[in-house]
Amino acid sequence: MTVIGAAIGLAGALWVGSVAGSLLYGLDGRDPTVLTASALVLALVALVAGFIPAHRASQIEPMRALRYQ
């Protein structure tokens, strides 16, 4: 899901960047450094957001979790 979201977001960012670049003087909306850095930061956030609950769930004893339900 992260890769699909990143692909859609990258396409949207390129489109919005080209529109904003045509409206504002001196703005380059297709800077590869900024696009790469933002994609990496968002991917890192997605990994951490998935890792924290998975790590907490792995600490629970399976039989205890089954008895709770």
pLDDT tens-digit series, residues 4-60 = 988 898 899 889 888 887 787 877 777 888 888 888 998 899 899 999 999 998 998
Number of neighbours of residue 57 by Cβ within 10 angstroms? 9
In which domain, by residue range, is 20 found? 2-68
Alpha carbon 43 to chain centroid distance?
Answer: 4
3-class DSSP assignment, residue 26? coil
Two tokens at 48?
């951490």
Is it the case that residue 69 has pLDDT exceeding 70?
no
Number of domains in the chain: 1
pLDDT band with cut points at 50, 70 and 90 for residue 1: confident
Both structure tokens of 12 = 């949207």
Distance CA 51, CA 45 (A): 10
